[in-house]
Amino acid sequence: MQLFYKIFLVLFIIFIAFNLYAVEWSLGLMSEDNLKYVFSLSAALVGLILVFVLHTWSKLKVKQ
C-alpha cells in the first residue's frame, strides 16, 4: 500500500473511532444530538471504502 493510502486509512479509522466514542447511545442513533456524529461516521465509512477501491485500482494498473 502506498504511503498516500496508508495516511488516509489511518485518518478514516481515527474519525470512525472518535465518532463511535462521541455518540450518546442512550439517546438513540437518530437523535438530533447524534446526527452530526452519524453523518460524520457514514462519511468516514464511505472514505474507507474508497481508499480500498482506489488501492485496488492502482494494483490493477500496475499489473497491466
pLDDT at 2: 82
Q: What is the DSSP string of the chain?
A: --HHHHHHHHHHHHHHHHHHHHS-TTT-TTSTTTHHHHHHHHHHHHHHHHHHHHHHHHHHHHH-
- Single-letter amino acid code for the residue at 1: M
Q: What is the mean pLDDT of each run of 10 residues along the chain (64 residues)?
A: 87 94 89 91 94 89 64
Joined grid coordinates for residue 61: 494498473
Distance from C-alpha of 25 to C-alpha of 23, rounded to nearest angstrom: 6
Q: Where are the domains of the chain?
A: 3-63
- Predicted TM-score (pTM) of the model is 0.81
